[in-house]
Amino acid sequence: MEQHHQHNTARLAEEEKDRDTNGQRLSDHVHEVQPSPSHDKMTPSHQGHVAHGDMIQDFKRRLIVSVILTVPVLILSHHIQQFFGFSLRFPGSEILLFLLASVVYFYGGYPFFAGFKDELKKRLPGMMTLVAVAITVAYLYSSAVVFGLSGMDFFWELVTLIDIMLLGHLIEMRSTMGASRALEELARILPSQAHLIEDGEVREVNVSDLKPEDRVLVKPGEKIPVDGQVLEGATDVNESMLTGESQPVIKKVGDEVMGGSINGSGSITVAVKKTGKDTYLSQVIELVKQAQESRSRTQNLANRAAFVLTVVALAVGSLTLAAWLIYGKEFAFAIERAVTVMVTACPHALGLAIPLVVAVSTSLAAKSGLLVRDRQAFESARDIKAVVFDKTGTLTEGRFGLTDILPLEEKDRDRILAQASSLEGRAEHPIARALMEIAEDRGLPIYDVEHFHLIPGEGIQGRIEGRHLKIVSPNYLRQHGIARDAKLEGLMHQGKTVVVLLEDDRPLGALALADIVRKESREAVNALKSMGIRCMMLTGDNRYVAEAVSKELGLDEFFADVLPGEKAETIRKIQKEFSVVMVGDGVNDAPALAQADVGIAIGAGTQVAIQTADIVLVRNNPGDVVNIIKLSRKTYSKMLQNLFWATGYNVIAIPLAAGVLYSWGILLSPAAGALLMSLSTVIVAANAKTLKYQSAPLAND
């Protein structure tokens, strides 16, 4: 691909910045949210996202009410009074305790009953089943005690269990969001209005009202509203958000343009060719949607542990009741043993084992500029075997830097740069800005330019100190039969953007510019390779550019000239051999970000990339990919520790609660079982907090 120099004054529009997670699971236990975008109108449905927000608000309301009612329940509970050494009794206190606990049980516990019902339908008992059974057994037994059964109630355990489980699920839901926002942001790339040319007059119309063969005017600096063909005018267009091409592309009469790309300084008239779902951008939206919906869903570790604990608790509780009745013990004793088993197995600790670690790790990550949007994807990062980077704006800075000054007839390099930057000072395209900044940094003089004007589609010209000078692309030399120096050809084959300074069509010298590779990119690639992770690059840029960057960074592999649809397909091919992280920043990266096992967006990238990604790097530092993987591994280790304790203590506690050592005089009382269960919760919470100290160096990595 020939590198073209843009002189029609391309003012690149600013990229929007700032995903909620692409995870479509609100909670495995409650419900799922599915986005349903409408591509015809380019306005995705907000239904799923609204439902998601409503669910979070519902959990929050239930938690607040439950916590408020928990206070008097604790004050009225016999266990609490005995522990703190006070007594509070008055006529009707037991009934009041029963009524308050009943409200918490039915209102606060409703989501778990709904989840229990859903798990039964799917025949996959898990966390919700265990919670529902535990709180129901505790409620029924405690209610029976209030109304005459010999024993001690568990109302305080009941309400605190519901509080903690609501809190745990609320934390979990906040860490997962709907996928619809990515699709919404894609749609927003297109402008809502267009300048329709009709009967020689220009009027504003909605983009949705445009039809094929309509003629629209696109003014300098505006977004092109539709896919079409240039009928009049010439300009340069920034397509980097759509194709990944780092250079603005010259568009002349007959050339095709894409809706959502950004016009430079020239006014053009465009004939509409595609609308609605047929447009390039709509196809990108569909690719993102398909990749998101095809994502595999890994079962939560806590759910698997809860399934085992559910089976064990139910089985042991039932066996305990039956065994003591067969043994000849009275019913009150037998039911007390069964209830103790169920209360001891209550998943306070299990309910917080994962959400607390997630809360600590995501908070720690945020302080280090790593925003986790999708928890499951973040957890998956620990097993990543390959990282695929976008080039422009990710591995590179997305701006030009001067790499070479090639003297030809003029031997003074500084003079070549000074004259070129003086001419370019009258333009506004990226190359012009880069040359001006470089000249200013070097303290070079800026010459007065007379008779400055553009050479449409070819360059610029003017007079400096009485000399007629031009700045043109190498393509201009070929078109006008001017011999190109071998060294000049060599620079072009290195994937660099080359401009030539002419005087009366005599080459005085040439300047080569290239997208600046981030220093952090080299460090990131070296660190990843030291961890045994393959590093690849996926770009819409040409092969020369891609090869040069790949060699400079020591990448294992690169893919060039790749379109958005091809990016997603390339990721799928890589996934056949490796688990993949995709790191990108543009619209063109969105399908690949959604398809990858973990999608990571550079923070200065487009809103679309960020909304599609699972993780966002706020600091624009590719090295943070290393930090994400390290933190994921530490987080997973902490999760395993918590799950081990949350479930492992039951190996001792449940048999004691069942009374297997009763003949030796060892019997775990309901209060002791509840205390042990509460202690496990404290241990799990404390262990989760230690993650911040173990990962303290993260911010400085």
Hey, which residues are catalytic here? 390
58: which 2 tokens?
């519902």
Q: How far apart are CA 355 and CA 611, in angstroms?
A: 23
CA distances from 57 to 90, 105, 117, 646 (A): 37, 19, 21, 28
Q: Is residue 396 within 8 Å of residue 549, measured between CB atoms?
A: yes
With H, G, I as helix, E, B as strand and everything else as coil, classify residue 279: coil
Q: Phi first, then psi: what are they for 494, rounded to 5°? A: -85, 5
Q: How far apart are CA 205 and CA 195, in angstroms?
A: 7
Residue 157 buriedness (CB in 10 A; 0-12 / 13-18 / 19+): buried
How many CA atoms are closer than 13 Å to the CA of 487, on its beta-carbon side?
11
Q: Is residue 184 within 8 Å of residue 41, measured between CB atoms?
A: no
Q: How far apart are CA 319 and CA 224, in angstroms?
A: 72
Q: Is residue 344 within 8 Å of residue 654, measured between CB atoms?
A: yes
Q: Side chain identity at 389, as an amino acid letter? A: F
Residue environment code for 317-354, b if the CB has 16+ CB neighbours within 10 A, otherwise e:
beebbebbbeeebeeebbbbbbbbbbbbbbbbbbbbbb
230: which 2 tokens?
């240039």
371: which 2 tokens?
């925003």
Q: How far apart are CA 501 and CA 429, in angstroms?
A: 17
Q: How far apart are CA 600 and CA 625, in angstroms?
A: 8
Q: Is residue 292 within 8 Å of residue 245, measured between CB atoms?
A: no
